[in-house]
Homo-oligomer: A and B are copies of this chain.
Amino acid sequence: MEIKDAVTTLAAMAQETRLAVFRTLVVAGPDGLSAGRIADALGVAPATLSFHLKELDRAGLVIPRQDGRYVIYAANFARMGALLAFLTENCCRGDSAGCAPANADTDAAVDCCPAPDSCC
């Protein structure tokens, strides 16, 4: 993942309503939820939710599919995984293998991090 993609993805999550939407979809799993159910769950006006879903889609964080008159949104777990990988790849002087929480069991983290469980 390039830095511009990371910025886009982070920006999509850097908004309270959108982060709540995304977390709701993460919990819902691959089956996803319709726009209406998300709106109900979070108490957001339909037009506002639609705006935010478009942002999340633009960032690649959700995958919409038409199902009858509903549009079902599901979290894009692959995209989220790619972001987490990007955020940890330059950790600890380039040795991402030693970084918690990605690899909390190794003790390589102590080579560069204040504590094994406090590294990116």
The interface of chain A, by Cβ under 8 A from chain B, is: 3-4, 6-7, 10-11, 13-16, 19-20, 23, 26-27, 29-30, 75, 77-78, 80-81, 84-85, 87-88, 90-94, 100-102, 112-115, 117-120
Which of B4, B20, B102 has a CB less than 8 Å from the CB of A3?
Answer: B20
Q: Are A10 and B13 in contact (CB under 8 A)?
A: yes
**Taking the full assembly, how many copies of this chain does it contain?**
2
A109 to B103, CA, bound (A): 16
Which residues of B are found within 8 Å of A77, using beta-carbon distances?
Answer: 91, 113-114, 118-120
Chain B residues whose CB sits within 8 angstroms of the CB of A112 once the complex forms: 29-30
Q: Which residue of B lies closest to A119 (CB)?
A: B77
CB pair A29–B90 under 8 Å, yes or no, is no
Asked if A113 and B14 make an inter-chain contact with CB atoms under 8 angstroms apart, the answer reads: no
